[in-house]
Amino acid sequence: MASDRIEAGTTTVTSRKGDEIEAYHARPIETTGYGSVVVIHHMPGYDSSTKEIARRLASHGYGAVVPNLFHRYAPGASAGDGAAAARAAGGVPDAQCLDDVAGAMAFLKDQAAANGKVGVIGYCSGGRQSYLSACNLDLDAAVVCYGGGVVASPEQLTPGRPVAVIDMTKDLRCPMLGLFGSEDANPSPEHVARMEAELTTHAKTFEFHSYEGAGHAFFWVERPSYNAEASRDGWVQIWNFYDKYLAG
């Protein structure tokens, strides 16, 4: 029987620009040749729910690291204080996010027991950042969980988020799995349809699932938005997708 032992805890990841940020690393032990995943946290921050996702990935045989994208705004702070500080500062610029995800990718590739394949998964605002990363970094697989703001109007663009992520679709570098709720307002079913159309136009490899009756953040346990049916099937889709593109 394969080992299910894992190790998890806080570490440091060096961003592509060279500065160090806090991160949470979970990985299988007594296993080699595993694929890895960068987990991008949601707007409420680098929290226990996101760390739990990293441990779940490790339990399933993947290395996972969660870079704290809010670290610079509040080093060492609680998830809530970090999220508040980042929001007060105007949010994480896309360029900085890409530097941190690139650093997290390098960290995972450096693990001796890893197979060198790295995917990404992000939730909520992290879903948008997952899409962003997949269009700008050499990832092997990207999972976008209800990424709001991928489709953005010109007035929604900011100096830190200067380009609508949907307009980067032509540069997508890896297969994408999208998981959405039909009751979500951002991304709405119309937004999801826009993404599908754009991905199809550019002949990208992708697979989208939209769950009837599910709203935003249906994976988030312990919250009113949690939807057991969508979450259960969503995890099945995630394992199938990563097992296809990252394993071995």
Partner 1 sequence: MCTYLTSTEKVVGTGLGAHGWFAIQEAVVYFDHPQEALVEHALCLDFRAGGPADPSQRVAVELDAHSARRLAESILATLAHDEVKALGVD
- Note the residues at the interface with partner 1 (CB under 8 A): 42-45, 73-74, 77-85, 87-88, 90-91, 124-125, 148-149, 156, 161, 184-188, 215-217, 223-225
Task: Output the smallest distance, CB 9 to partner 1, in A.
Answer: 22
Toward partner 1, which CB reaches closer, 2 or 159? 159
- C-alpha pair distances (Å), 155 with each of 103, 162, 164, 232, 234: 31, 10, 10, 36, 32
Residue 62 vs 146, nearer CB to partner 1? 146
Question: In angstroms, what is the minimal distance from the CB of 10 to partner 1?
Answer: 18
Q: How far apart are CA 100 and CA 103, in angstroms?
A: 5
Residue 196: partners with Cβ closer than 8 Å, 6 or more residues away: 206, 208
8 A C-beta contact, residue 181 and residue 227: yes
Of residues 45 and 119, the one with the C-beta less far from partner 1? 45
Minimum CB distance to partner 1 smaller for 83 or for 134: 83
Q: Which of 85, 87, 100 is nearest to 132 (CA)?
A: 100
Q: Minimum distance from CB of 83 to partner 1 (Å)? A: 7
The least distance separating partner 1 from the CB of residue 49, rounded to whole angstroms, comes to: 11
Whether cis (ω within 30° of 0) applies to the bond prior to 187 is yes
